[in-house]
Chains A and B, each alone.
Chain A
Amino acid sequence: MELSTIAQQLVNGIQSGAIYALIAVGYTMVYGILRMINFAHGEVYMVGALVAWLGTSRDWYGVVSHSSTGGLVLLIATAMLVCMTLGVLIERLAYRPLRHAPRLIVLITAIGMSFLLQNLALILFGADPKTVPLTWRTVQLGGISVSLGQLVLLIASLSFMAGLQLLVKRTQFGRAMRAVSEDFQAAALMGVPYDRVIVGTFAIGAALAGAGGAMTAIFVGAPVTPTFGFMPGVKAFVSAVLGGIGNIPGAVLGGLLLGVIEALVGGHPTLSPFRDAIAFCLLIAVLLFRPAGLLGRAVQEKV
């Protein structure tokens, strides 16, 4: 592989990795707080993309066009809001009634929720791929071509993640989140209403996934189908595990790493068909040596 190809693939990898990271933080936060994998999370990402398509598929009084920055910001914000509401609904309707049920039941419910959302999208919008009708100018940066959309997506994703880190570290809600994820009972006994913290966590995770979906549809132009969220969802889950599930910086690191490795392997002429296989082998290798993930702490079970 030539050096310029490697550099090009590095850029592409960081971009898709940023999206994995945006979805992965949702998996990891929910896991941290409830010790469950929210398999419907990929579908939230799909809904975000659908909202973006809906917003651009017709002329909403000319508000949304790719020459209008404000319109696009509004569109992404709408996608986030819709997904946030969806996340809250999923938690309230599907998971909260099972708060004290065995984990396996919650897991199966999550898979069911994922199928439900996929099929709802299929019924409502059909199976044909939908593309956001916007194109982005490509700029050359020292032999590497980057579309403006990619650039915006990357900057926006990184700012979202920086914002999340601030929220978790600096705000009272963030402290409550960390307390609940360590010991929800003790947190409740200190007056923290953990049901509200849990629903807030779902809302934040869903908003980020929604932003990721909307931005992928808008800036990358990926065709949206009802199964649009499946593969990114799995990859983001892998990223979260790779980085150490329950650890937010870990999820970001895992996402970027997975994106870059996939892109590098994908850019290689003979290895490219084995892209996913190699990515998953790497996951297995990392977990063999660091079962808690790259940044995960080995947690001792209480005896």
Chain B
Amino acid sequence: MKTPLLQLQQVTMRFGGLIAVRSLSLEVDAGELVGLIGPNGAGKTTVFNVITGIYRPTEGDIRFQGRSLVGLKPHQITRLGIARTFQNIRLFRGLTVLENVRIGAFVRHRTRLWQAALRFKAVEKEDAELEARARHWLEVLELSAVADVRASALPYGLQRRVEIARALATHPQLILLDEPAAGMNPNESEELMHLIRRLRDEFGVTILLIEHDMRVVMGVCERVLVLDYGELIAEGPPEAIRNDPRVIEAYLGEPV
């Protein structure tokens, strides 16, 4: 049997008396496009934070390509090939779009920081490579025109795209998108769905996304995981999830 790309085994995350994630097990295979949904406070973002090393799980294990991530620092996990975006955009606001994306490309930096501070020849060469790679991602995401604009000066929809470009520049195998369509109008989310599919199909990136916009979830995900009160209550293809009584109940009778 093939090892899944990402595997959560009985993961529990407790904050004092609050259990945010309860004995959660899930798997994501390479090349999948998976949605993680659930009502507010279900623990979705906590799952992302546990995977990326912001929190250390109270119990359980997280494996990426068969290797345990528990105890690794966030930057080490990013270097292994997991990138993410944030629910509330967290771009480096004072840096330009290009600089933001170049920070993402940092991961592939071979020369050490110390040498980087001193600008040796090899560093300059690598600098040029990094810049080329960052510009490549800007082009893919149609951001070249705003490369030298301060991130904070961009409209909301574009900022979301810069975040995706920055995450892609870390050269991930798995990308975690935290509510990528939040605050987007129908047109923008249509474009986003197109982009998400393209990332997977063209660049072979596995995608796990949290989303509240059901049109996006149903339109783009091949498999959906439903979280409620930190527990996995349903899992399956979008059509099955839409009609699952437990899911409907979790959303307080709202049709999904």
**A residues apposed to B, CB below 8 Å:** 167, 171-173, 175-176, 178-179, 182-183, 185-194, 196-197, 200, 204
Closest residue to A200 on the B side, CB-wise? Answer: B113
CA distance A194 to B74 in the complex (A): 10
A197 to B114, CA, bound (A): 10
Residue of B nearest to A302 (CB): B88
Chain A residues whose CB sits within 8 angstroms of the CB of B99 once the complex forms: 175, 178
The residues of B that contact A197 with a CB separation of less than 8 Å are 113
Report whether B78 and A191 are in contact in the complex, using a CB–CB cutoff of 8 Å.
yes
Q: Known: A186-B86, A190-B104. Is A176-B74 also a contact (CB below 8 A)?
A: no
Complex CA distance for A167 and B123, rounded to whole angstroms: 13
B107 at the A interface (CB under 8 A):
yes
Q: In the complex the two chains form, is A196's CB within 8 Å of B113's CB? A: yes
**Chain B stretch 140-193: residues in CB contact (< 8 A) with chain A:** 166-167, 170
Shortest CB–CB separation between residue B104 and chain A, in angstroms? 5
A176 and B78 in contact, given A167-B117, A186-B86, A189-B84 (Cβ under 8 angstroms): no
Which residues of chain A are near B170, meaning CB under 8 Å? 190-191
Interface size on B, residues (CB 8 A): 35
Q: Is A191 touching B90 in the complex (CB atoms < 8 A)? A: no
A175 and B75 contacting across the interface, CB-CB below 8 Å: no
* Contact yes or no, B75 A172, CB < 8 A: no
Please indicate the chain B residues that have their CB under 8 angstroms from the CB of A192 in the complex.
75, 103, 106
Residue of A nearest to B77 (CB): A189
Between-chain CB contacts (< 8 Å), 8 pairs: A167-B117, A178-B95, A179-B100, A186-B92, A189-B83, A191-B78, A191-B104, A196-B113
Q: B92–A182 contact, CB under 8 A?
A: yes
Q: Are A173 and B117 in contact (CB under 8 A)?
A: yes
Given A179-B103, A191-B106: A186 and B90 interface contact (C-beta under 8 Å)? yes
Convert B111-138 into 0s and 1s, putting 1 for each residue whose CB lies closer than 8 angstroms to a CB of A: 0011011010001000100100000000
Please measure, in the bound complex, the distance between the C-alpha atom of A183 and the C-alpha atom of B130, giving whole angstroms: 22
B237 within 8 A of partner (CB):
no
For B74, the chain A residues whose CB sits under 8 A away are 185, 188-189
CB distance from A210 to the nearest CB of B (A): 16
Contact with A along B90-105 (1 / 0, CB 8 A): 1111110001101110
Docked Cα-Cα span, A37 to B106, in Å, equals 28
Contacting pair B116 A171 (CB below 8 A) = yes
Q: Which residue of chain B has the shortest Cβ distance to A194 in the bound complex?
A: B75
In the complex, A175 Cα to B123 Cα: how many Å?
14
A150 to chain B: closest CB distance in Å?
Answer: 29
Instruction: Report B-chain residues with C-beta under 8 Å of the C-beta of A176.
Output: 103, 106, 113
**Which interface residue of B73, B107, B117 has the most chain A CB atoms within 10 A?**
B117
* Chain A positions within 8 Å of B75 at CB level: 188-194
Contact of A172 among B86, B90, B102, B166 (CB under 8 A): B102
A182: nearest residue on chain B (CB-CB)?
B92
Q: How far is the CA of A190 from the CA of B99 in the complex (A)?
A: 12
B52 at the interface (CB under 8 A from A): yes
Evaluate whether A190 and B73 lie within 8 angstroms (CB atoms) in the complex, with A171-B117, A172-B116 already known. Answer: no
Q: What is the chain A residue whose CB lies nearest that of B112?
A: A196
**B212 interface residue per 8 A CB criterion:** no
* Interface: B200 (CB within 8 A): no
The distance in angstroms between the C-alpha atoms of A46 and B170, with both chains bound, is: 42
Is B109 engaged at the interface, CB distance under 8 Å to the other chain?
A: yes
Known contacts A188-B78, A190-B106, A190-B170, then 11 further A-B pairs from the complex at CB < 8 Å, ordered by chain A residue: A167-B117, A175-B99, A175-B106, A178-B99, A182-B92, A182-B93, A185-B74, A189-B83, A189-B84, A192-B103, A200-B117
Given A172-B109, A176-B103, A179-B103, do A188 and B73 touch, yes or no (CB 8 Å)? yes
Q: Is the CB of B103 within 8 A of A182?
A: no
